[in-house]
Structure 1
Amino acid sequence: MKKSSYIFTICVLVIILSEYSHVCQSIRCNPQDKKVLLQIKQHFGNAYHFASWDPDTDCCSWYIVKCDRTTNRISTFNLITADISGQIPDTIGDLPYLQSLTFHKISNLTGTIPRSITNLKKLTSLTISWTNVSGPIPSFLGQLKNLTFLDLSFNNFSDSIPPTLADLRNLLGLRLDRNKLSGSIPESFGNLTPSLQYLYLSHNQLSGTIPRGWGELPFILMELQRNRLEGDISFLFGKNKSIQVVDFSRNLLEFDFSNLQFPDDLGTLDLNHNKIYGSLAEDLVNLDRLFLNVSYNRLCGKIPVGGQLQELDYTSYFHNRCLCGAPLPECK
């Protein structure tokens, strides 16, 4: 072989090997992960939302999913506003490197949460919201020990809240609002993780009292409106608290409001439609950015002067036993 031909052959081989190496490097998808994803696609009838899921392409480039840059395993599965029907497939539990799993705004998603989800030991965020998934909230969700965020809002979950959710010791946020949950808040919830800052339990049918242990937790936001909760929540307040948003409106709470104190950062306090009595706490005048609604209670006395209290609409105060003073009529 002539030297020039030899050199040419070597150059061609180098180019071919280089291209082959580039292709190999660009295909990141784990074969087992791809197999599971294609099973999920088939489970949902090869719906248009999975059009990019071509078995001849790298699954790390597909819509809905993402791969971890280090492991090249599927770490994110976010199915949002999809025109699909059916139940959450059992095979979702065969993606062991998942860290974030979302099914959001899928009205034709039905059935229950599959037990196979407990195989997802690395899961930190689980969202199943705005769907028609129903049944009791499974107690086995308490096995997902790495969860920092659990959102099961706007579904058709019924029955009581499983006490095992208190086993999720890394939670920062918990949303169970807008379901059909009933019964009392579990006793175990009095010992929720001290990292929990955001709690949404509103628009359910919960009854009984709230756990005393919540007075020791660093909540920033609590929304429990439109339930049937009773008793005293005054222990949630105080100068040393971190709470910024509190909504317990439309419950059956009954306690003396007169001498409460509030953290400086409290921005929303909505307690309308309860059975709260006493006078308005003087400490409210120290809150500069307060939205307050205490209408439809049993409060009496003059509205303290100062802060934002006179700038609020009269509807923030009306339908109480004998509150008076601006913005309500003058006291007699």
Structure 2
Amino acid sequence: MRANEVPSEEITRDPAAFADRVTADGRFGRVAEPGRYRLVVSRACPWAHRTVIVRRLMGLEDAVSLAVTDPVQEVIDGDPHWVFTEATGSPGGRDPVLGVHALREAYLARDPGYTGGVSVPGLVDVTTGHLATNDYDRLSLDLAGEWGPLAREGAPDLYPEPLRDEIEAVGAEVYRDLNNGVYRAGFAPDQEHYDRAVAGVFARLDDLEARLSSRRYLVGETVTLADVRLFTTLVRFDAVYHGHFKCNIAKLTEYPALWAYARDLFQTPGFGDTTHFDHIRVHYYRVHTGINPTGIVAAGPDPAQWLAPHGRAALGGPPFGRATLPGPVPEGERVPDIAA
């Protein structure tokens, strides 16, 4: 879908165009080697944000480098594309490692005849310039558990085997009603589709409010991929989904347990320190001209509220159990500080 269009039918998501898996043992043909792959993301995108969080929690910053696109897509040949610009630290508008202006160049390097959409995140093989995968969900899983000795000492187990069925069951509901539900509401082609989507969004938020009233994390006693998947939608909810996508029955801040849970995660290294509110607001309000034709970017809400005390520690132990917190954010990857 182009940036200035509203779909005539309910929005759907295409399967990943490329889905090569990268693992420590190379059993799928690609080996996780330090410096071999570059993760291309937009800090505005919730699907890309998942991979950035996992990469940071696992301490893979030195193993897989990070490339950040401009939050405003550039229209090339009639379609919006993720591009590198001077504003996001790419001299001459080209990524300094890959040498490309638009992520689609890595797609075309992999398949010169490719005519499909281009999405983030994209894991690119630095040695060939080819896109390895744009499968955000599988990429998150593999970064969490398949990069073996390249992960930092003390890295958490974000996908513990005894909890995997529950993580996936909860994740499927959250994806259907909330992660993707906000998009189905925001890009609804008519009132009927909107009403159905927005009802699902808030039914799921109500369910999560009840679930998180008595437990610190979504599944189990520590942070898992279930929390990562939920967080990237929650952190965007009041900033863009509430107004821009018309999900305005209530704000996240009006859910006591859910809002405290979101702040708890935000204040945990790996979550808030990978969240760029300016990129989020600018992307959604500037790019989606079909639902915001003026391109005016909303001013609020004040992100400093994310630093308010949450009181969630009383519900459980440390976020990663016996594992340790990740270290400082690398100098070149820091997002703007939020003033208290």
Question: Structure 2 length normalisation: TM-score?
Answer: 0.21
Larger proportion of strand: 1
Higher relative contact order (CA 8 A, sep 6+): 2
| Superposition TM-score, scaled by structure 1 size | 0.22
Structure whose alpha-carbon radius of gyration is higher? 1
